[in-house]
Amino acid sequence: MKGVRFHKPHTLVTKYFKRFCSISSTYVSNSYEKVLRGSGISDSVREAQYAVRGEVPTRALQLEEELKHNSQKPYDHIIFCNVGNPQSLANPPVTYVRQVLALCDFPELLNSSLFPADAKEHARRILKSAGKGGSGAYSNSGGVSCIREDVVDFIQRRDGYESSVNNIFLTNGASDGISLIMKLLVSSSSTGVMVPVPEYPLYSALLCLLGAKPVRYYLNEDRNWSIELSELEKAYEISKKSGITISGIVLISPGNPTGQVLEKSNLEEIIDFAYRRRLVILADEVYQENVYTKEKKFVSVKKVLRDMPGKYQDVELASFHSASKGFFGECGRRGGYLEVANFSEEALEQLYKLASINLCANLNGQIAMSCITRHPKKGMPSYSRFEEERSNLLSSYARRADMIQTAMNSMEGCSCNQVEGAMYAFPRISIPLSAQQVARSQGKQPDVFYALSLLEYSGVCVVPGSGFGQKPGTFHFRTTILPPEEDFPKVMTSFQKHHEWFLNKYQG
């Protein structure tokens, strides 16, 4: 807006306002004291934490600005390893998805020869189901009908068990679906939901915003972040004794931030626990396509549950998927779905009403979910390109997962479980006592201090373990495996050099 000048307030003639003086005079009010500060701002908002975009990433954004000017740093840009945002680190999109999205946005392109026949057919089918308004109209609050069918087909093929359109809700990313279920589940301030530690912090943040209680259970780092039944029982009993009514349990597999793929037998234990304790299971399965080890396969909680005997078949389950992860990585779409199983009619009705208050999920995200659950099959014009893009990216992620874990384990006092899946490593680091003291004297957690040091020293932005929770006295950080593969040697060296420098400085 160069050259254009705008009024600043206070400068205009106040001719209209004389009458207010007389109205106002009956109220003694010399100045307006802001509402939204201190205790005027919701406590639960002030208390909610979301470290993925917290202190360290905020400093990284500042640093990025400084680097544009005359920075003395030994690096010229920030490597953002704080968010699972693949395309921002040049991991390419799947062409087919983008083609279908463009066709739905601008249907005139259906006449163009630039697009393969299967992408056009896909777009036509969606546009027909969405009705006259196409991608420009609100859909049914559960989502466009044919896309919910795509999700049903996808789940049925994956699990070998029936799914139903009435149990599918298309959402603005998985976060939105998780938020819907949490709202339904929190019936009072004494409601608790069990969440893993370390945990993707969305769960605790949502519970905090709803005024409810996270009931934390520790994952067992020594057994590759498995879930221990004894730990679940302990956490449950302690919270129950303190008056909390526990109504749900969250599990994340493949794990975020921990990268493990939970064993089928482990999932069975959790389902049995939920059965006995009468809990709704919230299964975060957004990384279901991201498994890098040949020894393990993703298995959905729904399939495990359906494989179990009859008495388990009423256990309530909500499972979440996303357009943002897998090899699609379409974070910007904010597409996702929520599948519920064994919900009462009443709960389904309330869920639908809740979804309808926000009208519907964005259509672009819905269409992305359609492409993800109904991608090109063998024999279709787009298949070979799709398959090449898929396997290139997934095999590269697998190599990166391996490299990062090797690098972390090569660092003194640092250990890192195998990155079996998802997009993260969560190494445990030893922080010298003197560094812990310096950190605390600055009012910082030692791992935040370490992550800030890493950022300043090397330009690599990670999230401190305290943002996800960790056993007292242990320190971790979460890094994504997403920097471009060709940059990996350099990024790994950055981690190692900083670690060496840090230990030298503080072990003295």
Residues between 326 and 365 with contacts to a second copy, criterion CB under 8 A: 329-334, 342-344, 346-347, 350, 353-354, 356-365
Please state, in angstroms and rounded to a whole number, the distance separating the CA atoms of residues 435 and 505.
9
Q: Is 229 in the site for a second copy (CB under 8 A)?
A: yes
* For residue 201, cis peptide bond before it (omega within 30 degrees of 0): no
Q: Render 14-56 in DSSP notation, one character per residue.
A: -GGGHHHHHHHTTS--SSPPPSSSGGGS-HHHHH---GGGSHH
Q: Is 369 in the site for a second copy (CB under 8 A)?
A: no
Q: How far is the CB of 503 from a second copy (least distance, A)?
A: 32
Q: Is 276 in the site for a second copy (CB under 8 A)?
A: yes
- Tell which residue, 339, 281, 346, has the closest CA to residue 315: 281
Q: Determine how β-strand 414-415 pairs with β-strand 213-220.
A: unpaired
Please state, in angstroms and rounded to a whole number, the distance separating the CA atoms of residues 173 and 144.
15
- The stretch near a second copy (CB under 8 A) out of 130-138, 282-290, 400-408, 451-459 is 130-138
Residue 16 φ then ψ, to 5°: -75, -10
| Dihedral over Cα of 327, 179, 208, 60: its sign | positive
Task: Collect all residues with Cβ–Cβ distance below 8 Å to 60 and sequence separation of at least 6.
Answer: 78, 80, 82, 455, 461
Q: How far is the CB of 12 from a second copy (least distance, A)?
A: 5
- Tell which residue, 315, 258, 284, has the closest CA to residue 203: 284
What track of x and - describes contact with a second copy for positions 1 through 30 (by CB under 8 A)? Answer: x--x-xxxxx-x-x-xx--x--xx--x-xx
Give the one residue of 2, 68, 69, 132 binding a second copy; rule: CB under 8 A.
132
Give the one residue of 62, 128, 131, 410 binding a second copy; rule: CB under 8 A.
131
Which of residues 371 and 398 has its CB atom nearest to a second copy in the complex?
Answer: 371
Which residue's entry shows tokens 């974070």?
Answer: 331
Which of residues 357 and 486 has its CB atom nearest to a second copy in the complex?
Answer: 357
Q: How far is the CB of 437 from a second copy (least distance, A)?
A: 29
Give the one residue of 126, 130, 232, 451 binding a second copy; rule: CB under 8 A.
130
Residue 191 φ then ψ, to 5°: -70, 135
Task: Collect all residues with Cβ–Cβ distance below 8 Å to 415 and sequence separation of at least 6.
Answer: 408, 409, 427, 428
State how far Cα 167 lies from the chain centre.
22
Q: How far is the CB of 74 from a second copy (least distance, A)?
A: 23
Q: How far is the CB of 423 from a second copy (least distance, A)?
A: 13
The Cα-based distances of 310 to 173, 275, 314, 470 in angstroms read 33, 12, 8, 37
Please state, in angstroms and rounded to a whole number, the distance separating the CA atoms of residues 460 and 442.
21
Give the one residue of 79, 118, 120, 141 binding a second copy; rule: CB under 8 A.
141
Which residues between 25 and 44 bind a second copy (CB under 8 A)? Answer: 27, 29-43
On the CB side of 307, how many CA atoms lie within 13 Å of its CA? 14
Which of residues 354 and 438 has its CB atom nearest to a second copy in the complex?
Answer: 354
Please state, in angstroms and rounded to a whole number, the distance separating the CA atoms of residues 201 and 178.
12
Give the one residue of 67, 102, 165, 438 binding a second copy; rule: CB under 8 A.
102
Q: Is 138 in the site for a second copy (CB under 8 A)?
A: yes
What track of x and - describes contact with a second copy for positions 176 through 195 (by CB under 8 A)? Answer: x--x---xxxxxx-------
- The stretch near a second copy (CB under 8 A) out of 205-213, 282-290, 369-377, 433-441 is 205-213
Q: How far is the CB of 276 from a second copy (least distance, A)?
A: 5
What track of x and - describes contact with a second copy for positions 280 through 319 (by CB under 8 A)? Answer: x------------------------xxxxxxxxxxxx---
Which residues between 48 and 67 bind a second copy (CB under 8 A)? Answer: 48, 50, 52-53
Which of residues 133 and 413 has its CB atom nearest to a second copy in the complex?
Answer: 133
Residue 146 φ then ψ, to 5°: -70, -25
- The stretch near a second copy (CB under 8 A) out of 160-168, 433-441, 470-478, 494-502 is 160-168
The number of residues that bind a second copy (CB under 8 A) is 137
Which of residues 141 and 288 has its CB atom nearest to a second copy in the complex?
Answer: 141
* For residue 257, cis peptide bond before it (omega within 30 degrees of 0): yes
Enumerate the β-bridge partners of residue 196: 217
Q: How far is the CB of 391 from a second copy (least distance, A)?
A: 19
Task: Check if the beta carbon of residue 317 is closer than 8 Å to that of residue 342.
Answer: yes
Q: How far is the CB of 454 from a second copy (least distance, A)?
A: 21
Q: Is 486 in the site for a second copy (CB under 8 A)?
A: no
Which of residues 427 and 469 has its CB atom nearest to a second copy in the complex?
Answer: 469
Which of residues 181 and 408 has its CB atom nearest to a second copy in the complex?
Answer: 181
Which residues between 400 and 459 bind a second copy (CB under 8 A)? Answer: none
- The stretch near a second copy (CB under 8 A) out of 154-162, 284-292, 407-415, 485-493 is 154-162
Residue 332 φ then ψ, to 5°: -65, -20
